[in-house]
Amino acid sequence: MRYFCSEAEDNKVNSLFDATSGSMNENGRETALFNCLKIPDDNVRLAVVECLLVVPLDEFDYGEISIVTNVISTCNNIGAG
């Protein structure tokens, strides 16, 4: 996910990356990533955050932004995973 989303932002020559990122968005990419945040493993959570960092901003909808805001607001110690 991270690779295709990153290339969708950076590679404007090959439209395959943008199409793949759009397809992942239509098929619940963020929902899958948010579900992975529930896994109690810091490596998994870090991988999820790295994916979310390269998701094109225009592909986040209001509900997804609300989920991110909620996750951030419930963190007691962001340095602890």
Predicted pLDDT of residue 75? 67
Is the pTM above the cut of 0.75? no
pLDDT given for residue 78 in this prediction: 58
Q: Where are the alpha helices (DSSP H) in the chain?
A: 2-10, 15-26, 29-36, 42-54, 62-73
Q: Give the torsion through C-alpha atoms of 8, 6, 80, 32, to 10 deg.
A: 40
Tokens of 22: 């759009």
**pLDDT by residue for the chain (81 residues), tens digit each?**
888 888 888 877 888 888 888 898 899 888 898 888 888 888 988 898 888 888 878 888 888 888 888 877 776 665 655
Q: Tell me, what's the pLDDT at 80?
A: 55
Q: Where are the domains of the chain?
A: 2-80
pLDDT of residue 73: 76
